[in-house]
Structures are given as C-alpha cells and as structure tokens.
C-alpha cells in the first residue's frame, strides 16, 4: 500500500483549500507509517492557538498519531488519502 511508485493525485478541493505544506506533511506521514497500512488514511485538521493540529488515524491496523505544526493560515478540514491499488488520491471528506 502507498508505494511511492504509484501515481499520487489530489482533488480540486484539496488543491483549493489545503496549503501545499500540509499536503506534503500528510503524504510524508503516510510514507513513514509502519507496515502494514490500511487503504484509507484519515486526517483531521484543526487549529488551536494559531497552530495547525493534524490528527492522523487508520482502522486496520489501528493507527493514531497527532502532529502539531506552525502555519500562517491554519485550516479546519477532514482529509482522506485512499490507495485503490493502482494509484493514491488525497481528497476532502465531502468529496468522497
């Protein structure tokens, strides 16, 4: 799952709403996870005291990690990264 050799894509919603720095951080978070990885990775983005909070979870196997980053404009969103076997796609939850 999530091999770097697969094409990686993002939706228009992610492109419009999620800063490139956060997109890169989320791809890196998936790359650095232990194996095996679930096909669905969930990121809940929130802001707290001017900081960007990134809560990363998956179900099988169960995984949970929280990252805190400085951001010029913290965002609040729910983002999925899905590996469908042929390619990986980052999308906003409402685009699913």
Contact by Cβ (8 Å): 13, 92 = yes
Question: What radius of gyration, in Å, describes the C-alpha atoms of the chain?
Answer: 13
Instruction: Please give the backbone phi and psi of residue 76, each rounded to the nearest 5 degrees, phi first.
Output: -120, 120
Q: Where are the domains of the chain?
A: 7-95
pLDDT one digit per residue (tens) for the chain, 96 residues: 898 889 999 999 999 999 999 999 999 999 999 999 999 999 999 999 999 999 999 999 999 999 999 988 899 999 999 999 999 999 999 998
For residue 54, how many other CB atoms are within 10 A of its CB? 20
pLDDT for the residue numbered 4: 81
Contact by Cβ (8 Å): 2, 86 = no
Options 3.40.50.720, 3.10.450.150, 2.50.20.10, 3.30.365.10; CATH of 7-95? 3.10.450.150
């Amino acid at each position: 799952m999530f091999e770097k050799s697969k094409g990686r894509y993002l939706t228009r919603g992610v492109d419009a709403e999620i800063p490139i720095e956060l997109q890169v951080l989320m791809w890196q978070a998936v790359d650095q996870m232990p194996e095996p990885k679930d096909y669905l990775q969930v990121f809940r983005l929130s802001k707290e005291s001017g900081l960007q909070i990134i809560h990363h979870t998956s179900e099988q196997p169960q995984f949970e990690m929280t990252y805190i980053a400085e951001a010029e404009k913290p965002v609040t969103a729910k983002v999925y990264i899905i590996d469908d076997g042929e390619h990986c796609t980052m999308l906003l939850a409402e685009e699913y």
